A and B are shown apart, each in its own frame.
Chain A
Amino acid sequence: MNPEDALAVARERAAAHADAVLPPGGLEVERSSEPTDGQLLQWSVVEPDLREVRSTRSGPVGRAVTAIKQGLLRMLGQYHAQVLSVQNRINVHLSLRSTVTRDEVRELRAEVAALRRRVDELERPAADAREPIR
């Protein structure tokens, strides 16, 4: 078979077996043009995974560096908790404010559009009345 003929054969085979389908569910990748409000809120809470704090080196040196890093984290735990709580408070507040602002802008745009329509309706009879009589 020529490569150029393979697609037609594949389509025939797909049509002939169309009744054999897969169970639904599982990962199905979707594109999104921007993060959702829910995602923004979720991301605004800073929760670093402390297990990820480790050395990129392997062997005994890497293990030692990892132990030092983890030790420092434990020693500075109270300080980091304070910093994170301040940052989280600001983040959550900003993301909520962004959601509320967006909703308000949407409502205001709808209101402006309705008012424009109403102005057009009111102006149309007046404009018709000004039309010269021929």
Chain B
Amino acid sequence: MSLVVHQVIGGAGPFDAITTQALRFRRLFDEWGWGGKDAAVHIDPRVGDRFMPLRALAPAPADVLFVQYSAYTPGLSELLLGHPRSLVLCQNITPPEWFWAYDPLTAMQCYLGRSEARRIIANATVSAGASEYTRDEFGADTVIPILFEPDRYGPPPSDRQRDEGAPADGGEVLFVGRLCPHKRHDALIRAVALLRARHRPAAALRIVGEPVNDQYGAQVAELGRRLLGDAFTWDRGLSQDDLASRYRDADVLCCMSEHEGFCVPILEAFHYGLPVVGRPSGGVAEVSGNAALLTHDEDLGVVAGLLDVVLEDRGLRAELRARGRARLEHFDERATAEAARIALQRVAETAPAVR
């Protein structure tokens, strides 16, 4: 079945995960011989002419709209209401409660985005979530996971390199993700501080990501410097190659986030053979499966204990590495591409073209 699929996203930017995913989907559609255009409401000049303004998009009734919904998008609900064939893929939208005190504008966007999500889904022919968690949260029909492309990340270190492990009194803990309140960098810093105080005095923490705003970034950095001193490093604006080297150099990924729709860094950690420790919140538990050490324990000393155990035990790391690879197979990009193709074809079958 040949389709014309127009993609719609809220904002198109050079470092935006949704934008990258939309471009990858477009390449897939090209491979399948499908036509269509890509549109966004806000377009960063750095993405060039790969996206057209949403207001300029005029889909024919037989065309399919593929919307990746990750934030409040003015006019989207009306567009879907007036178009008979659409697939809406809901990405994670963080509850606003995490942002009111730190970034009210983001809180408002989250509030509007979550309020609007059910209306958007109701107006879609077929709806999907990026994980079972997101599907259930927004009441969508099916799941289309994140399109994870291992070839973007380069080769992982060999098992032998990973087996060498961390020094007996140290180890580098890594976390990759935006500096946002719900990611709980504060808890992560305290967990690593406890790891140093109780088990490994030379352990270090490296965080990678852009802050939701400069003030929040400064608060995180201040806490990191106060509790960890020189053992705290914050990297931002990294290229893909630099990010890959951070993963290769790290000994464990620790994710203390309390709300995740999917959590791509976990798959990235699995790709690089890194063990994962963290909280089983939302999509984290679903993506990790049995390949990570997760705990609900409020006591951050337990998280410090898990970090110590995994840094110490070579056999445990090898087992987690093997399980992580199995999870990567589960989230193989071909499976995601097939899920998207089935959902888009379902749209066409559910809503026959108007002639």
Which residue of the partner chain A has the closest CB to B294? A7
In-complex Cβ contact of B316 among A1, A33, A39, A57 (8 A): A1
Interface string of B193-215 (1 = CB under 8 A from A): 11001110000000000000000
Interface size on A, residues (CB 8 A): 33
A28 within 8 A of B: yes
Chain B: interface residue count, which band?
35 or more
B:140-185 near A, CB below 8 Å? 181-182, 184
Q: Find out whether the CB atom of A7 lies under 8 angstroms from the CB atom of B302.
A: yes
Instruction: Take A1-B313, A14-B301 as given contacts and tell me if A26 and B97 are in contact as well, using a CB distance cutoff of 8 Å.
Output: no
Q: Give the complex CA separation of A55 and B226 in angstroms.
A: 35
Q: Find out whether the CB atom of B223 lies under 8 angstroms from the CB atom of A22.
A: no
A:67-96 near B, CB below 8 Å? none
Shortest B163–chain A CB gap in Å is 15
Q: Find out whether the CB atom of A14 lies under 8 angstroms from the CB atom of B305.
A: yes
B308 within 8 A of A: yes
Q: Give the complex CA separation of A112 and B271 in angstroms.
A: 63
Q: Give the complex CA separation of A123 and B97 in angstroms.
A: 44
Residues of chain A within 8 A (CB-CB) of B104 are 35, 39, 43
Instruction: Take A7-B295, A26-B226 as given contacts and tell me if A56 and B45 are in contact as well, using a CB distance cutoff of 8 Å.
Output: yes
Q: Count the A-B residue pairs with Cβ separation under 8 angstroms: how many?
A: 110
Which DSSP category, helix, strand, loop or mixed, fits chain A's interface? Answer: loop
B341 within 8 A of A: no
B116 within 8 A of A: no
In-complex Cβ contact of B309 among A13, A18, A25, A26 (8 A): A13
Q: Find out whether the CB atom of B46 lies under 8 angstroms from the CB atom of A26.
A: no
Shortest B184–chain A CB gap in Å is 6
Q: Find out whether the CB atom of A9 lies under 8 angstroms from the CB atom of B301.
A: no
B:261-314 near A, CB below 8 Å? 290-291, 293, 295, 297, 299, 301-306, 308-310, 313
Q: Give the complex CA separation of A25 and B136 in angstroms.
A: 37
Q: Find out whether the CB atom of B100 lies under 8 angstroms from the CB atom of A27.
A: no
A31 within 8 A of B: yes
Q: Give the complex CA separation of A39 and B107 in angstroms.
A: 13
Shortest A128–chain B CB gap in Å is 48
B247 within 8 A of A: no
A131 within 8 A of B: no
**A interface with B by C-beta (< 8 Å):** 1-3, 6-7, 9-15, 17-18, 20-23, 25-35, 39, 43, 56-57
A-B contact pairs, 25 of them (CB 8 A): A1-B315, A3-B319, A6-B309, A7-B293, A9-B305, A10-B295, A10-B303, A10-B308, A11-B297, A13-B199, A13-B308, A14-B299, A17-B301, A18-B301, A20-B198, A23-B226, A26-B226, A26-B227, A28-B186, A29-B98, A31-B97, A35-B104, A39-B101, A39-B104, A56-B46
Known A3-B320, A14-B301; 18 more pairs at CB < 8 Å: A3-B316, A3-B319, A6-B293, A6-B306, A6-B316, A7-B293, A7-B295, A10-B295, A10-B303, A17-B199, A26-B227, A27-B219, A27-B223, A29-B102, A29-B184, A30-B101, A33-B100, A56-B44
